[in-house]
Structures are given as C-alpha cells and as structure tokens.
Amino acid sequence: MAGDRHRIVGKPIRKVDGPSKCTGQTLFADDLSFPRMLWCKLLRSPHPHARIRSIDTSRARNHPGVVAVLTGRDLPIPFGILPVSQDEHALCLDRVRFVGDPVAAIAATDEEAAFEALRLIDVDYEPLDSILSIPDALDPARPPIHDYGDDGNIHKLVSLEFGDVEGGFAEAKEIIEGTYFYGGNTHLAMEQHAAVAVPEADGRIRLYSSTQTPHYSHRALAKVLEMPPAHIRVIAPPTGGGFGGKTDPFNHEIVVAKMALVTGRPVKICLTREEVFYCHRGRHPVLMGVRMGMKSDGSITALHFRTLLDGGGYGSYGVASTYYTGALQTVTYDVSNYKFESARLFTNKPPCGPKRGHGTPQPRFALEIHMDRAAERLGMDPAELRLAHLVPPGSLTANYLKVGSMGLGECIRKVVEGSRWKEKFRQLPHGRGVGLACGAYLSGAGLPIYWNNLPHTGVQLKLDRSGGVCVFCGETDVGQGSDSVLAQIVAEVLGIEPIDLRLVTSDTDLTPVDLGSYSSRVTLMMGNAAVQAAERARELLSSAVAGKLEIPPTRLVFADRHVFDAERPEIGMTFAEAVQTAEAKFGTIGTVGSYTPPPSAGRYRGAGVGPSPAYSYSAAVAEVDVDPDTGWVRVQKIWMAHDVGRSINPVLVMGQVEGGVYMGLGEALMEEQVFRANRNGVHKFPSMLEYKSPTTQEMCDVTTYLVEDPDPNGPFGAKEVGQGPLLPVPPAIANAVYDAVGVRIDEVPITPEKVLKALQAKDRRYGPADLPPVTWPPPLQVATPRQGGDGRAIGRAIGRASGGTTSTPAAEPARVDGRVTK
C-alpha cells in the first residue's frame, strides 16, 4: 500500500482535539464569559411579509437592566455572503420577509431582562401579501419580496445548453421522463449559534462566533460597521457542528459587535433552537423535471434537467445553489449533450442556503432514481448500467468539469459485492428490497465566493529551537477533524509527532486567511498549503543539517523527531538540534505555504460553479423493510463505498461516511422543514422534538469501504469526504423501496403515508405531477469538448424557448450566432 511509507498520514491516530472534547474542557462560543458582559436578545417578526411602519423602543429602554436597544436604522448597510446578493440587514430596515426575521435587539445585564424587554418594543407592521410556495412565487401578479432579481420573485434564472440536446434525443432509443421533489430540511447541528463581541480599548473589536467561515464574517462586519478590517478580529472557537448552517455572516454577529461598540461592554448572544431554525440556510426544497435520452446500451445521448428552488426570504448562497442543482450531473456517467434550466424563487420563509452537499443531493436524488428506472426499461442491472458508462478518469465533461481520479467503478463493485446485490436485487421476498445509488462531490470550489486572485488558504510555520512547531492557519474545525489533518500533514513532513505542534487556527488577526469550512475544501486546499509550508521548512533544516554533517541534503531523513542520514542512520541529530542548526545559519525559522486551485476549463457565464481540483465518488446499497400495511420503511443496512483519494486519517474518514449516512437517512425518511400556510407561514415545528431526525434507534447498520485512488491534485492524493457520502443515501433508499414493494416514491421525505398512498395508487407512485410553467430564457449555448468547443459560450439560441424573450448575448466575448451544429 502506498501509505506504508508514511508514519502519520494514513494512520488512525487520535483526533488532536479528542481528549479536550471528551473531558469537557473545550470552550465553545457559548462557554465564553467576560467581566461586565451584557446579554443580547433579538425581537423577531411575527409576520411572514410586512412593512415596518414604525418601531417604538422607549418602553423597552426603561425596563430595568436594559442597557441598549438597536433597530435597523443603527445598522443600515446591507450585507450577504455573495457579492451579487447583498440583500440582508442586521436588523430589518423597513421590511420583514419571514416569521423570525430580526427587527430589534436588546442588550441587558442578564438574559431574562433582555427577554422580558422584547415584549416592550412596539412595532407597527403593515402586513403584505405573503409568498409561501413555488407557484406563488412564479405568479407575476404577486408582489415581489425584493427589488432585485431576474424577474418578480424569480431571484435567479439559469438556462444553459451544452452540445445539441435535441439532436441527442433524436439519437436516443429510449426517452425516460420523471418529476421529483426534494423536501427542504435543516442542518440541526448540536451547537446553537452563539457569538460574543468584546470591545478593545483602542476602538477595535473582537468577535468570537460559532462560525464555519470567520473570514466571510470578518468581511461583512467591516462592511456593515464601516470599520477597517484590520481593526476587527474574528475568532471561531471550536464549533459544535455546522453542516453549512454557519457559513453565512449572520445578523446576530453584527448586532453583538455593534452593541459592544455602542455600550463599551462585552455582549453575548446565544440563539435558542427555535432561532436556529430561523437562521436556517438549509437544504432548498427543489422541484425537478428530468428527461433523459438513452441508446439501447444505456449510453446517455441527451439529458435535460429542470430545477425550481424554493429559496426563502434572502439570497444567501442561493445563486451558487441554483447552479449546483445542475453542475455535477455530468461527472458520474458520461452525458453527451446536456441542458440545464433552473430558477430560484424568493418566498416568505427562512432563507435556504448550503447544507451538506450544497444543491447537489436534490438533483442526485432525481438522477439516481432516474437511472434505476432506465435500467428497468432497458432490462439491465442498475449496477451494470452505471459501470458501463462511467466518466473516464482524466476527462473533461460536456460542461467543462475536469475529472481527475475517478474511483466510482471500484466503489460500485465494492458495495455490489459486500451487499451480495446479485443475489438480492429483485429476488427478496415482498416487503424487503435493495437499492443502489451513487454520488459525486467537489473537493473544494474552484473559485472563491467573492472575485479575487488570491490564494484560498495559507499556512504559516514557526519553528522553535525547543523543537516545537507552531502552525498558523485560518482553517476552522467544525468537528470534521481539520485540525487533525493539519497536524498530521505537518508532523508527517517534518518527522515529528502531532503533539509537538501548537495549532493556532481560525483567528483573523493571527492566522493566514483560509476561506472556511465549506464546499469540502479544507483537506485538499489547506493540506496542500501545509505540505508546501512544511516542505519549505524541511528544506531549510536539510540545508543546514547537511552542511554540518557534510552529506548531500537529499540523503537526509526526517522521522521519529530526528534528522539523520538515510545510509548511516546513526549519523544525525534530534529535530530540536536540527532547528537550532538552521536557526544559527539562517536566523529565525518561519515558512509559509498557500494554495490556489487550478484554473477551470469552462469560460461561459455560470462556469464558476462546479469546477474543483478533484471529485470524490461514492456508491451505496441500501437494504430496507417496508410494511405493506402501514407503509413504514425501516432501513436495515447501508453499504457505502467512498473514493476519498487517500485518507489522511481513516477513522476520521469513516466517521464522515457514517455521519453522511446518518444525515442522508434523516433526509430520506423524516426530516422536513415545513410551514403552516394557514397560519401566517410559521415554521410548523421549530424544535428538536417535533422536527424529526433519526435517533440511534432508527440508525441503520453501516459497512464502509474506503476506496483509495490517489488524486494528483490532493495532498498525499486526498480528496473530500465530508459531504459526498450523503448523496447516494436518499435515492438508494427510494430505489430499495421500489424493489421491496414495487412503488416509486419520487420525493423525500419518504414518509409512511406516501408509501401507503402509492401502494393504493393506480400508477404505484407518489410524487409531484409536473413542474409549473416557467418562461425559460433561450439557453446559453456552449459547444462540448467533443464538439471541439473551447469552453466559451457561443451565444444564446434565439426564439427556442416557448414565450422566450429576445436573446441577450453572454457576457463573454460571444458571437451571437445561434446554435451549434455538429
């Protein structure tokens, strides 16, 4: 095995933060306390959509214990994670857009006083017509929630065509159509968001926040507070889970920072679970229409994918989410011609955003059920169908994604064998079934959130004559183990032990920027930067030690806290002595490393979402029992194989796989973010008791296979694992339900009443009927690599869309010359 050369990388060593977490010593944001600290509470809107006529805070200000009250006027500058969606205010200015939108803030000497004073704020609202569903949002007669976007309540409209889709359908022997719905759900991280702002004597401010992205919070704070970023320090303490729920800059972070500046006292906020449901940024509900053309051997000649995203009240990551519902369909099975149309809609509900898998579990659910249907139609085994049409490694897809290493075939073979698929598929007794599905995910987005040409991450090392090494990096460990990955990589390269390292992370004052823990980017990007910084340090040490020992530096080995001659291991010195030797020769020893992803191949508008240095792959087989009397689905077991490229720490990788299965199981069977349209659009049950997610009793057995096909772009070959393994779970379960009782459930969650309805339905199916009509703009045309395209758009097809508006040329140097012909 490749890993045998390594002492630390690839080994299941203990998480560096394990002991402090297990013994309760870790301090989370809510554990922090400072002298004279105030407590902050937010007053939230009871209306889904209303204009704020006036706010009277005088009664609240006079309440005992209240020190300060803020309203939107105190923080008028908008912010948002994406530069194109700067549509949020720390406190609503004149409009509220969902039940739970914050309108005022109170800081008081204790939390009870702040809470009581909330009821003393008088807000005069003028309720507005509220938009609570996808059809509502598409109705041009309804009032727009925002004054920007692509049309009415359509926030973002995308229409792309790669190659010749009509031609592809003409070539097809079978055309398979389907409509799917993926219900919205939320992250449900254990830690509720908390933030503490501490004013510093010279007018500067320090913010501790449970965030996955201190860098982006830092930028939003600088913007809204109108302060130089250098005077703001954002620290992310160890975070108790995020899953994408803590990747936006949040109103409460800005509010406590402002409160601290206004009062000159530390200010803390800890959200209730209900408020966390209002922060949301979770899975978009997506309605999908899929049309797929196939030859009789199963090769995909054309794929037409339409998605409608229910975005909630604000932009958040939504524009990226929209593209993600279309980007990764091409990296698993070869797709010759591909058309993608999508619309994200504003609705008066908490904003949706990125949840583990960001925008890709929904289309993956549709695609993998669709493949199961296709296999049946073609009379092929679903595993064989997929294996026959895998995207080859080292290829460029129709939408210009560069696939590097590609272990999906191995993943499929592993789970097929492990689950004894061949003996079970379509052969188990009625009520029991197996289903197969696959998935793929990015190892970090190729482009940053805001346009810049700077590195995505940096690592800085300070080597000390004592033999200790201090590692500085902006990365944020949200429980996934990025601190351990950082320590293992640096220790590996320098031949020392993780315990010899001091990690200083996620502190915008002390650490080089890392963009944050999102898009599964940390291991690959930070890992590469860490390798670079550590190799540079090793070079300095090698040069000094080689000079002293009078041997060529290439003969030196760094291992077991020693630096020695490979040919005569007794000749050498300790690591500490090596640092001293280097320090004597070069002065203080410090090195840096950084990482910027390779440029992407696509140059059309929208090409920024999808490219990644490497794609991970997963395949799953689920075995389920379905009770035909009740419709109850019990998942007995999931076999999951994941192509991680190379595991830096196999136990942490397995943990991520099992966590992904758990979360996917919840999404498949029960988790559902729903609202009461009859009662003001309130969240139906913003609590952990009634928002159902699986307990250990519902968790299935999991057998995990790690497939290690090292990727040239990954540190030691490593790719992502944090998000990918969730993707195959819901469709594998849906396919298994079909195998068990012969009904198609084309939406999640797959609840017992849906299964029972399908069992009683004529078409033996439960799912959405069709997509509501949308006037799609003519697609932006891009010739595929196979057609000799260069990644640029060649224009918009004119007048092809029904009711389409006149064509708008692409931003790129486009020739508006109609369609591509072969």
Please report, as ranges, the residues that interact with other proteins according to CB under 8 A. Answer: 44, 46-47, 99, 111-112, 115, 118, 192, 270, 272, 274, 629-631, 670, 676, 678-680, 682-687, 689-690, 692, 694-698, 751-753, 756
d(Cα 257, Cα 249) in Å, to the nearest integer? 12
Q: Given the complex with other proteins, which of 687 and 805 has the nearer CB atom? A: 687
Q: Given the complex with other proteins, which of 279 and 551 has the nearer CB atom? A: 279
Q: Given the complex with other proteins, which of 680 and 775 has the nearer CB atom? A: 680
Q: What is the smallest separation between the CB atom of 752 and other proteins, expressed in angstroms?
A: 6
Give the DSSP H/E element, type plus range, for residue 727: none
Q: What is the smallest separation between the CB atom of 142 and other proteins, expressed in angstroms?
A: 21
d(Cα 617, Cα 332) in Å, to the nearest integer? 8
Q: What is the smallest separation between the CB atom of 685 and other proteins, expressed in angstroms?
A: 6
Q: What is the smallest separation between the CB atom of 457 and other proteins, expressed in angstroms?
A: 35
- For residue 109, what are the contacts with CB-CB under 8 A and spacing of at least 6? 38, 39, 65, 67
d(Cα 152, Cα 167) in Å, to the nearest integer? 34
Taking the CB of residue 384, how many other CB atoms lie within 10 A of it? Answer: 14
* CB-CB contact of 171 with 292 (8 Å): no
The 3-class SS string of 244-256 reads CCCCCCCHHHHHH
Q: What is the smallest separation between the CB atom of 28 and other proteins, expressed in angstroms?
A: 13
* CB-CB contact of 397 with 331 (8 Å): yes
- Of 479, 518, 516, 483, nearest to 240 by C-alpha is 479
Q: What is the smallest separation between the CB atom of 285 and other proteins, expressed in angstroms?
A: 18
Q: What is the smallest separation between the CB atom of 358 and other proteins, expressed in angstroms?
A: 27
Q: Given the complex with other proteins, which of 275 and 643 has the nearer CB atom? A: 275
**Helix/strand/coil for 341:** strand
Q: What is the smallest separation between the CB atom of 809 and other proteins, expressed in angstroms?
A: 46
d(Cα 331, Cα 300) in Å, to the nearest integer? 13
Q: Given the complex with other proteins, which of 150 and 753 has the nearer CB atom? A: 753
Q: Given the complex with other proteins, which of 277 and 615 has the nearer CB atom? A: 277
Question: Rg of the chain over CA atoms, in angstroms?
Answer: 27
d(Cα 277, Cα 686) in Å, to the nearest integer? 6
Q: What is the smallest separation between the CB atom of 272 and other proteins, expressed in angstroms?
A: 5
- Of 75, 146, 141, 138, nearest to 104 by C-alpha is 75
Q: Interior CA angle at 17 toward 14 and 20, to 5°?
A: 110
Q: What is the smallest separation between the CB atom of 49 and other proteins, expressed in angstroms?
A: 12
Q: Give the burial string for 76-97 (b: 16+ CB within 10 Å, else e).
A: eeebbbbeebbbbbbbbbebbb
Q: Given the complex with other proteins, which of 128 and 571 has the nearer CB atom? A: 128
Q: What is the smallest separation between the CB atom of 740 and other proteins, expressed in angstroms?
A: 18
* CB-CB contact of 463 with 579 (8 Å): yes
* CB-CB contact of 649 with 17 (8 Å): no
Q: What is the smallest separation between the CB atom of 622 and other proteins, expressed in angstroms?
A: 19
Q: Which residue has the tokens 């140097």?
A: 813
Q: Given the complex with other proteins, which of 302 and 756 has the nearer CB atom? A: 756
d(Cα 82, Cα 351) in Å, to the nearest integer? 14
Q: Given the complex with other proteins, which of 194 and 797 has the nearer CB atom? A: 194
Query: Please, which residues bridge with residue 396 across strands?
Result: 402
Neighbour-count burial of 752, counting CB atoms closer than 10 A to its CB (0-12 exposed, 13-18 middle, 19+ buried)? middle
Question: Token pair for residue 673?
Answer: 């973010």
Q: Rounding to the nearest 10 degrees, give the CA dihedral for residues 420, 421, 422, 423.
A: 60
* CB-CB contact of 257 with 74 (8 Å): no
Q: Given the complex with other proteins, which of 111 and 812 has the nearer CB atom? A: 111
Q: Given the complex with other proteins, which of 696 and 821 has the nearer CB atom? A: 696
Q: What is the smallest separation between the CB atom of 665 and other proteins, expressed in angstroms?
A: 12
Q: Given the complex with other proteins, which of 46 and 144 has the nearer CB atom? A: 46
Q: Given the complex with other proteins, which of 200 and 753 has the nearer CB atom? A: 753
Q: Given the complex with other proteins, which of 50 and 533 has the nearer CB atom? A: 50
Q: What is the smallest separation between the CB atom of 153 and other proteins, expressed in angstroms?
A: 22
Q: What is the smallest separation between the CB atom of 749 and other proteins, expressed in angstroms?
A: 11
Q: Given the complex with other proteins, which of 127 and 809 has the nearer CB atom? A: 127
Query: What secondary structure does DSSP assign to 585-647, as a single string?
Result: HHSSEEEEEEE-PPPPS--STTTTSS--S-EEEEEEEEEEEE-TTT--EEEEEEEEEEE-SS-
d(Cα 746, Cα 315) in Å, to the nearest integer? 27
Q: Distance of alpha carbon 605 from its chain centroid, rounded?
A: 22
Q: What is the smallest separation between the CB atom of 675 and other proteins, expressed in angstroms?
A: 11
Query: Please, which residues bridge with residue 765 across strands?
Result: 744
Query: Please, which residues bridge with residue 56 across strands?
Result: 122
Query: Please, which residues bridge with residue 619 across strands?
Result: 438, 641
* CB-CB contact of 484 with 246 (8 Å): no
Q: Given the complex with other proteins, which of 353 and 694 has the nearer CB atom? A: 694
